[in-house]
Structure 1
Amino acid sequence: MELEVDIYSYYDYRDFIHDYYENRKLKNKRFSLQAFGLRVGHSKMSVKYVIDKKRHLSLDSLREYAKVMDLHGCQRDHFELLFRFSKAKNNEEKNILFSKVLKSKNKKFKSKFLDENSLDYFSKWYYPVIAELSYVEGFSLDIEVIRKALNFSVSYKEINEALVFLKENNFLKDSGNSDQMIKVPDELRSFIYKNYVLKTIELSKLAVEKLPPQKRESFNLTVSLSNERYEIAKKMIQSFRHELHQVLANDEECDRVIQVNLHMFEVANIEKLGMNDETI
């Protein structure tokens, strides 16, 4: 049987199972969750939990699904790779597995995907910085000039690799399509964003340690509040973020590049102590 849903188009194995099921149901109205469950040895509710992304499969169950969905050889291997990627417990493991997912896709199609370029763009803190630096008056492709302009240490080799990548993918001003937007698949947005945030947090630590006060602005607040005020604070930060971007974007007289990080997070919650539990 030839699949009409392509396993290589997915990043979460459960999305593939969902679309496989929907595709089979369109072809055969008798193909229900219960029928699917009987084939893989699960109840219909177990199948539903999986396709709704509320539950993961075990590796043994995954292989039963692969048999039922007629996945063999490289397709089955890719399916298992997506399973491992989806279940990765930390960002380091997820990064390693994501690279393997991309290699598997590229081996099949012998081409580079835009999402890989997106991952590369956010893989180093200085890639977006150099891209933005190209909009500053007097910018030069001279590696030594760029190295001196950066406030944090980046090697000659790293800058050269960055320039090659940014030029090839039109991320620099006057490179053919400098207004190109970074397009990231929805299912990867959280993963790639988290990677980049972690890198910029490390950069923030360096800024506090190495930059003089006139070259940075820092603010720190620890406060107790209700859930209602917490939600208000979130909305205020979101509003400020959009307003700040509108004010700063498209400045025609740029002379520097800045990094702005805004993080608000819960450090303690009384519910964990059971003091807010209404049950007796």
Structure 2
Amino acid sequence: MTAFTLPGFDLAAFVRSTLAEDLGEGLPGVGRDVTSESVIPVDARFSGVMDSRDGIVVAGLPIAAAFFRALDPEMAIELLVDEGDEVPAGSELMHLSGNARAMLTAERAALNTVQHLSGVASMVRDYVRAMDNPGCTLLDTRKTLPGLRYLEKYATRLGGAANHRMGLWDAAMIKDNHVAVAGSVGEAVRRAVAAGVGEIICEVDRLDQIEPALEAGATRLLLDNMDPAALREAVALVAGRVPTEASGGIDLTTIHAKAATGVDYVSVGRLTQSAPAADIGLDFTPL
């Protein structure tokens, strides 16, 4: 099995901290799985099957495997599908066999991760299909759970979206509160240009803000909470000078119409903020 790597994400640290939280490490008299230690013999062995009760886009299996291997380095693990595969309900995702206590202790952390990430990837795929527009790219946002941003943005890519900025460091995004302090859209953009920022995304919610933002040096316009008619007018005014992005008020019922206006991107916060967990189970059999 190829090692899982993701730029900016420390898998070993994530596994350690997640298991430590579940085991209560650092608290008085804890740091252990009291149920498994009291019920399961130390040398007991299990085989296990992880399967999906939903049709899903698969995400997170190598991370789940890392939880089991952290507690039993000799555990035999077979991943039956690839990351990003779309599988029907009832599909087996992983076979494993090894120390029973290790499996039971790692089970919840492993399942939580795969359920959440597969839920994100599956929701993204639904949005891509509803958008039905290969000329427009679906984007995620920074509306991610603390500590899970790199994983959630990884899952959105598996589902068929692209990543918006990763954080506060890789692009400027000028929004209404920045404009309120700077005094105008144009002045806010000029300050970012003067600071040497390379990518400057400027939010506009009125058509009369478009020219000042472009003249000041914005490299992308985020067209906020505009209906399809306003989006089409905004795209015509921009006339291809910079990419345009529709954002706000976008769900499965509205994304097709907004993407069809000619914008280059559609961004949807709920992809990571509101994705339901996939129904994935793990069944064990004593060996």
Is TM (by shorter chain) over 0.5? no
Q: Which has the larger radius of gyration?
A: 1
- Taking structure 2 as the reference length, the TM-score comes to 0.29
- Taking structure 1 as the reference length, the TM-score comes to 0.29
